[in-house]
Amino acid sequence: MSINEIVDTKGTTDDFIGHAGEDNFIIITSEDHAPIIRDEIKKRFAAEMLTHYNFMDRDRGYITITNKQGVVEQVPLMSIGIGIVSPTEYQFADIREITELAAEARRKDS
């Protein structure tokens, strides 16, 4: 799945994609395109995510890893959470507030 491809086909030429760090990305788009882009990303993720796992892991719903302490752990399969922050729904004064609102919206989505 390519976020660029989805934004190119579902968004506008004015859209912006950024990497906010770790596994967090940001897409700046118009309010009417945001839910369309979100839905397409979620649809593609659901369809393609399972191809990264073998059939046994998919059936179990987790993978087994050995952590840094040498302890075997069960780790859930990849998931995605997408939060939409809109200036018509939220009031914010700076990037910190936008980041906090996006994190909250993302947690609600997961």
DSSP secondary structure string, the chain?
--HHHHHHHHS-TT-EEEEEETTEEEEE--TTTHHHHHHHHHHHHHHHHGGGS-HHHHHHTEEEEE-TTS-EEEEEPP--------TTT---SSHHHHHHHHHHHHHHH-
Strand 72-76, strand 16-21: pairing:
unpaired
Residues paired with residue 66 on neighbouring β-strands, in sequence order: 72
CB of 17 within 8 A of CB of 3? yes
- Residue 4 CB partners (closer than 8 Å, separation 6+): 17
CB of 82 within 8 A of CB of 106? yes
Each domain of the chain, given as residue ranges in start order, spans 3-109
Looking at residue 93, what is its pLDDT?
82
Looking at residue 109, what is its pLDDT?
73
pLDDT tens digits for 46-92? 989 999 999 999 999 999 999 999 999 999 999 988 888 888 887 88
Looking at residue 13, what is its pLDDT?
92
